[in-house]
Structure 1
């Protein structure tokens, strides 16, 4: 692999990582909005099922959001 190919691969990786970070932030925002806007029983379970996150991850995300918004 020459330097140009290495640099190109590194750039593609950085772009993919940035896109993943953006998608993750968007998904978290949508999940939090869903949880805040619904009184549906089992809403957290729905988020777990749709996202593939663990229940603990969702709980931590909600807790963190509540701490930030007061």
Structure 2
């Protein structure tokens, strides 16, 4: 019965690993895209803010837009 438990555990691990192999790339891609989109937004936000500051002489502490 002990051997059976070990076998069941191995099978479970095999299934888990197979599932992970399917899900991981999708998850990874999702994370990468999420990161890129966030960075793009953040970058454009910072860039616009810098342009505003340099053109209008804004104080970044005051300018919240």
Name the TM-score class by shorter chain.
0.5 to 0.7
| 1:46 paired to 2:62 | yes
Q: Match of 2:36?
A: 18
TM-score, normalised via structure 1 length: 0.55
In structure 2, stretches of 5+ residues that fail to align are 1-15
TM-score, normalised via structure 2 length: 0.59
Q: Match of 2:6?
A: none
| 1:31 paired to 2:49 | yes
CA distance in 2, matches of 1:25, 1:45: 18
Give aligned pairs, total.
47
In structure 1, stretches of 5+ residues that fail to align are 52-70
CA distance in 2, matches of 1:34, 1:18: 24
Following TM superposition, the consecutive aligned residue runs of length 4 or more in structure 1 with deviations greater than 4 angstroms are none
CA distance in 1, matches of 2:62, 2:40: 22
